[in-house]
Amino acid sequence: QVQLVESGGGLVQAGGSLRLSCVASGSIFNINAMGWYRQAPGKQRELVAAITSGGGTNYADSVKGRFTVSRDTAKNTVYLQMSSLKREDTAVYYCNAEGVLYYSGSSFHRDDAYWGQGTQVTVSS
């Protein structure tokens, strides 16, 4: 059906940059919104940034001005450019796709959400 695969996580020093990528695969016709969530140890998963098929974006206050979300709709890919990273950005980052319309078994299907497996981002001081 539909799978999300993230890449680009790793270890970076505070003040550095990383770029995350997420590709959605499958017989996808349309995805309403794609984005990134993160979950730090002992904390709830939270929205980091999201972008709609029309290009509208939404950011968590804690990352505004430092992170940029972008999307290649034709490639079903979403990116997260992270700059001026802080220790508190350390978390597992999950890719999310919402409102996915795909073709399977001779018919179209629509699922509310898909998640990637997560990629670790660690920011050291």
Q: What's residue 105's pLDDT?
A: 87
For residue 83, pLDDT beyond 90: yes
Query: Looking at residue 106, what DSSP letter applies?
Result: T
Cα gap 83→89, rounded to integer Å: 10
pLDDT of residue 1: 82
Mean pLDDT over the full length of the chain = 96
